[in-house]
Amino acid sequence: MSKLSIIIPTLNEQACIVATLQPLQSLRVAGHEIILVDGDSQDDTRKLAAPFVDTLLITKRGRAYQMNFGAHFAHHDILVFLHADTQLPNMADRLILQGLIQKRRLWGRFNVRLSGRGFLLWVIAWLMNWRSCLTGIATGDQAIFVYKTVFQQVNGFPEQPLMEDIVLSKRLKNCSSPLCLTAKVITSSRRWEKYGILRTIFLMWYLRVAYRLGKSPQLLKKYYDE
């Protein structure tokens, strides 16, 4: 049976990386691999992560570049791209492997739930999942998974600082529609809580609209980081 290569890009994630990696140890026991690709963190990310991963790589910063770099070293048939602040659901391997075979899909993603409490955060996650199912576009927060051969066929993530997940999804849609798993990954709501929910909603929609209108990812990244 196929196995998973779980690729996690990191940059100064000491606060959350252990909480992400610990639940994945049962997958390692089952024969799947965890590849952590660090963008030269200046904190203890690598030290904390080392006991919990099969491969630890250090490369230049840039999430898309880091994920492509990790994919190059993956040994297994299916790649799972997992953000450092996101936790997979129970039996994620079974859900992915059985779902891809039964639905005859080549890639997919999970539904997402934000970690914080509050009705607005629930609504935001619901809208993210609904929009993704409707459009076939996945976000990185939803833990995109794909057959390695298909990922290579579409030339992986575009090496741009923002919206790399949208471009990859569009490329993959030319190969098959996505498998939309209703099981939920839990992703951190830290950005929403830090900058304010309404302000973050406005920013996210602005970035998407501006990108569709042709604004460069390099320019939009400056707004995202402010």
Give the model confidence (pLDDT) of 211-221 as tens digits.
777 778 777 77
Q: Rg for the chain (alpha carbons), in Å?
A: 16
Q: Is pLDDT above 80 for 104? A: yes
Contact present, 93 and 32 (Cβ < 8 Å) = yes
CA distance 160 to 204: 17
Residue 99 sits in which domain range? 4-225
CA distance 155 to 151: 6
Using the CB atoms, write b or e for 122-153: b if 16+ within 10 Å: eebbeebbeebeeeebbbbbbbbbbbbebbee
Number of domains making up the chain: 1
Q: Is 222 exposed, middle or buried (0-12, 13-18, 19+ CB in 10 A)?
A: exposed
Q: What is the CATH number of the domain that holds 51?
A: 3.90.550.10
Alpha-helical regions (H) of 154-196: 164-173, 190-195
**Banded model confidence at residue 225, pLDDT cuts 50, 70, 90:** low
Q: Mean pLDDT over residues 150-171, rounded?
A: 95
> What percentage of residues in the chain have a pLDDT greater than 70?
98
Higher pLDDT pick, 200 / 25: 25
Q: Mean pLDDT over residues 83-92, rounded?
A: 96
Pairing of strands 107-114, 78-81: unpaired
Q: What pTM, to 2 d.p., does this model score? A: 0.94
Q: Mean pLDDT over residues 80-103, rounded?
A: 97
Please write the tens of the pLDDT for every residue from 118-159: 898 999 999 999 999 999 999 999 999 999 999 999 999 999
Q: For the chain, what is the largest distance between any 2 Cα atoms, rounded to a whole number of angstroms?
A: 46
Q: Is pLDDT above 70 for 223? A: no
Q: Mean pLDDT over residues 169-188, rounded?
A: 96
